[in-house]
Amino acid sequence: MRATSQAQPNIALIKYWGKREARQNLPEVGSLSLTLDTLWTRMAVEFDERPGEDRLLVNGAPAASMLPRISACLDEIAGEGRAAAAVTSECNFPIAAGLASSAAAFAALVMAASKANGRSLEAATLARLAGRASGSAARSMYPGIVELEAGARDIALRTLAGPDDWPLSVTVAITATHAKAVSSGTAMTISKQTSPFYASWVARQGDDLAVARRAVLERDFAALAGVAEHNCLKMHSVMWTSRPAIVYWSAATIACMQTVRALQDDGVPVFFTIDAGPQLKAVSLPEAADTVADALRRTTGVVDVMCSPLGPGARLLGTA
Ligand code: PMV
């Protein structure tokens, strides 16, 4: 059976940075994110009759460098003695450039692969499987504003507000489309081992999550803006104080931050967040989205701007 599914990337407002345990890839801290709508990855998976070499096509081209992580994820789903699989992926935004492409890819992959393997698993199980491949991927299984709770032995997820419960807009300022030099997985390990700020990052995460959760439940945009920017800058401070230092920002990233600050000074309801890459994501109330997009488009170093409302969790598109 061939199964196809689609998932959207998610953007964390309260970030995940650092692993508690390697085997299950358990995050050390909880996180809170926005699942997007108009950026997507589609994955089609079909298992052969017998073991052999997996094949992967990404946007029509063979992608050997990405295959080991895909194959390891398929092993988790179908067992190590499994048949080989043909995996075809399509993505409508830049890959491995700090736009959560791995979150969307692995959420879509586990859903399509488990279906192609003859199983219909519930969202919590699929999220756990996706999270083993990429910590943030678990969140793309769910719609809207999502909280991931990091337990000692497991993760638990829930949607705090659906896409229509509190409509927010995400405007992504793309400043570079090439893949990042250091993967987030490698960078997290370096941070945990070397940053003198790592322990306090972990210790204070629960406080930030509580403030953000309450802001979402009370639809308090200013409170969410304040804690999200603080949490983002704290994560990047942990990266900057790692040895070797991990700096994902470029001059254009800072120019975009200044654009958001100028909009805020003019009373526009918007705030920024930045992940493991040079892109800036601006979160705003929907009525401000056009103003935000125009301002970011005019910012030096911005090569493209993508806008999205909040969207659904991963879903099955079909079987054949
Ligand atoms: O899931 P990973 O290994 O791609 O790491 C994601 C890390 C950040 O995007 C920087 C933060 C987050 O919570 O998504």
What local confidence, expressed as pLDDT, does residue 97 receive? 65
Residue 185 sits in the same domain as residue 147: no
Looking at ligand 1, which residue's alpha carbon is closest to its atom 10?
275
| Buried/exposed code over 279-297 (b: 16+ C-beta within 10 A; e: otherwise) | bbbbbbeeebbebbbebbe
Do 159 and 66 reside in the same domain of the chain?
yes
Cα–Cα distances (Å) from 186 to 191, 203, 215, 291, in that order, read 9, 22, 32, 37
Task: Show the ligand 1 pocket: residues with CB < 6 angstroms.
Answer: 12, 15-16, 31, 102-103, 134-136, 184-185, 275-276
What is the atom index within ligand 1 of the atom nearest the CA of 10? 14
Q: What is the pLDDT along the chain (320 residues), one digit of tens a residue?
A: 899 999 999 999 999 999 998 888 999 999 999 999 999 999 999 999 888 899 999 999 999 989 999 999 999 999 988 999 999 999 998 777 677 789 999 999 999 999 999 998 999 999 999 999 999 999 999 999 999 999 999 999 999 999 999 999 999 999 988 777 889 999 999 999 999 999 999 999 999 999 999 999 999 999 999 999 999 999 999 999 999 999 999 999 999 999 999 999 999 999 999 999 999 999 999 999 999 999 999 999 999 999 999 999 999 999 99
In a domain, 320, yes or no: no
* 96, 129, 164 - which closes a domain: 164
* Adjacent-strand bridge partners of 42: 6, 90
Pocket test for ligand 1, best of 15, 99, 102, 272 (most atoms within 8 A of CB): 15
Residue 245 within a domain: yes
Domain of residue 224, residue span: 169-309
Distance 308 CA to ligand 1 centre (A): 19
Tell me how many domains the chain contains: 2
Pocket test for ligand 1, best of 184, 232, 253 (most atoms within 8 A of CB): 184
Would you state the structure tokens that stand for residue 24, as one six-digit string?
């299950």
Query: How far apart (Å, rounded) are the C-alpha atoms in residues 38 and 2?
Result: 24
Output the domain CATH number for residue 138.
3.30.230.10
Residue 316 lies in a domain: no
* Same-domain check for residues 15 and 155: yes
Residues 180 and 250 in one domain: yes
- Among the candidates 164, 186, 214, a domain finishes at 164
Residue 120 within a domain: yes
Same domain, 207 and 256: yes
Q: Give the pLDDT of residue 181.
A: 83
The per-residue DSSP string of 273-311 comes to EE-SSS-EEEEE-GGGHHHHHHHHHTSTT--EEEEEEB-
Let me know whether 270 and 152 are in one domain: no
